[in-house]
Amino acid sequence: MFGTVPYMSTEDIRPFRIEIPQAALDDLADRLDRTRWADDLPGDDPWDRGVPASYLRELADYWATSYDWRTHEARLNEWPQFVTTVDGQDIHFLHVRSPEPDALPLLLTHGWPGSVAEFVEVIGPLTDPRAHGGDPADAFHLVIPSIPGFAFSAPLAGPGWTADRVAGAFVQLMARLGYERYGAQGGDYGAIVSPAVGRADAEHVVGVHVNAATAGFISYAPPSDEDMAELTEVEKGRIGRLQHYMGEQMGYVHLQSTRPQTLAHGLTDSPVGQLAWIVEKFKEWTDDASDLPEDAVDRDHLLTNVMLYWLTGTAGSSANFYYEGAHAGGWGQEIERSPVPTGVAAFSTDVAIRRYAEPANTITHWSDFDSGGHFAAMEAPDLLVGDVREFFRTVR
């Protein structure tokens, strides 16, 4: 695996450093130069049928000529990283301890199409609030793993890596690091894994905070007329957004839930294919005030996230997470109620609604924001950090 440093401790936690071979970067440049481009259909809104060729050509040109992986590789390597084996699977994680001795350990979990790179803007404020104009009492020790099958937590050792199994592995990881009392936070699939961590380890998890939450925080069934009459205008907007998502934006879910390996061949062979597959979601899920993905998320930050999929060849193994979830019981199945105090940050493009979240979660904190979006740690890091701090003050 790229960057693994041979080292053994009594608990087999091995230091890790990202060191991508130059040959891999040269291969990427060559593939970008030889891209065979699709044509747009004349006359339509260029985004209605997916990512427009004109936009993708310009972004790919920037990737090939202006983006510098080594700069962003070095930034990621500023934080201590490790690999350990849990349940037969290698798990990569950042472990960034706070200078504050009484900091609360916090497990941060990304989603799809995210990665540990999502969190680069929040690591400093969360671990060292004193240095970022905050209260040192809000400090966290951060553990930020790559979900099995994503980035450097690959290759997958075998099938069966559902959200519950991932949560169990992360519980073991926190125990292995010596953390007996900790919190969990996550967005997207991280908002499924993090509550599952709380359910699996309620004795040690003091609180769970989520953003971009879906399963366990929404209703997949259309609301009744009675429910609609009781919803706020904000909540009605979320119902409409969810219905639009289910009708127009679920194609990727069906593919990744049924035939992830077929999809993997195209995305692993074509960097522009991998770029389009991810950038579409940054267009559709970021703050509505943004016309283009880079209006919401720094272009280099977005490309660094894409690079973690491309360089590790994990398009298929990350999509496999959807397959496992769909074949473990399907979407919308009943979820056991969590006794762990749970906080929710709902940003402008999120769809979580409190009345639908309360049956499965002990909701003690809820924030609605009229800005930000699905990728809150990248789009609105200050808002996310502030809400995480506010929630965990109640459970420290």
Strands 140-145 and 182-187: unpaired
Structure tokens that stand for 50 in this block = 């997916």
Q: Would you say 112 and 316 are in contact if contact means Cβ atoms under 8 Å apart?
A: no
DSSP 183: E
Q: Which of 92, 110, 301, 374 is catalytic?
A: 374
Options 252, 309, 322, 356, the catalytic residue: 322
Is 322 designated active site?
A: yes
- Tell me how far apart the alpha carbons of residues 358 and 360 are, in angstroms, rounded to a whole number: 5
Omega prior to 293 cis, within 30 of 0: no
**Is 67 a residue of the active site?**
no
Q: Under a CB-based contact definition with an 8 Å cutoff, are residues 190 and 215 in contact?
A: no
Amino acid occupying residue 346: A
Q: Judge whether 194 and 213 are in contact, CB under 8 Å.
A: no
Among 188, 201, 300, 387, which one carries the catalytic annotation? 188
Residue 329, CA distances (Å) to 229, 251, 257, 335, 389 in order: 32, 19, 12, 11, 35
d(CA 208, CA 113): 21
Report the alpha-carbon distance of residue 226 to residue 212 in Å, rounded.
Answer: 26
What is the C-alpha to C-alpha distance for residues 64 and 2, in angstroms, rounded to an integer?
Answer: 22
Maximum separation of any 2 CA atoms in the chain, in Å = 64
Q: Cβ atoms within 10 A of the Cβ of 134, count?
A: 16
Number of Cβ atoms within 10 Å of the Cβ of 164: 17
188 is catalytic: yes
In the chain, helix, strand, coil percent, each to 5?
45, 15, 40
Q: Can you tell me whether residue 335 is helix, strand or coil?
A: coil
Sign of CA dihedral 91, 151, 79, 138: negative
| Helix 271-285 × helix 260-269 angle, to 10° | 110
Residues that are catalytic: 188, 322, 374
